[in-house]
Amino acid sequence: MSTSSDSLQPLSVSLSPQERFEEYLQTRGLRQTSQRKFLIDAVFSEHDHFDADELIDRLPRRGQENYVSSATVYRTLREFVDAGLLKSFQLDGRTVYELDYGYPAHDHLYCTRCRKLIEFQSESITQLRDEVAAEMGFRVSGHRLIVQGVCKDCGKARRKKRKHDLV
């Protein structure tokens, strides 16, 4: 999945993702394993959106060093969400993950042609959300906005094709 995240800068956090996850595991009486350590490093090595299969494709294959089974990847991704390291959401019938810990709240534009996700922050959207919530006596704990449409690149490609078809 293609991602554009030029506008989002990581926030300063007191613990590394690894330390935050170790803290989470300790509160649940679970132990840190080499596979969990490897996965957290793999996930936090780049800022992108991914599903479990895309992550598995990036990882070492069976028989290679640091191999992690698919079942362990799925289970550990759920643990990362529970620990507040990742957020998950449904997109085109699949579960998509994004970094949460150390990144600001934001929304998305989603191109239905090339599947690019573009992250953005909007104070106006947040202000409108808060105003509507206040009118309704609603306490906001967060929100997720995904605007679907066609990105600039896909729009240009379609316009060029149409001009060509007319010739």
The response to whether 106 counts as a known ligand-binding position is no
Consult the annotation and say whether 107 binds a ligand.
yes
154 is in an annotated binding site: yes
Q: DSSP state, 92?
A: T
* Whole-number Å distance between alpha carbons of 122 and 128: 10
Sheet of 3-4: strands edge to edge? Answer: 3-4, 117-120, 107-111, 146-149
Residue 151 buriedness (CB in 10 A; 0-12 / 13-18 / 19+): buried
Main-chain dihedrals φ then ψ at residue 39, nearest 5 degrees: -65, -40
164 has binding-site annotation? no
- HSE on the CB side for 130, CA within 13 Å? 6
- Does the annotation flag 108 for ligand binding? no
CB burial of residue 132 (10 Å; 0-12, 13-18, 19+): exposed
Binding-site residues for Zn(2+), please?
111, 114, 151, 154
Please state the residue numbers annotated as binding site: 107, 111, 114, 143, 151, 154
Which residues are annotated as part of the binding site for Fe cation? Answer: 107, 143
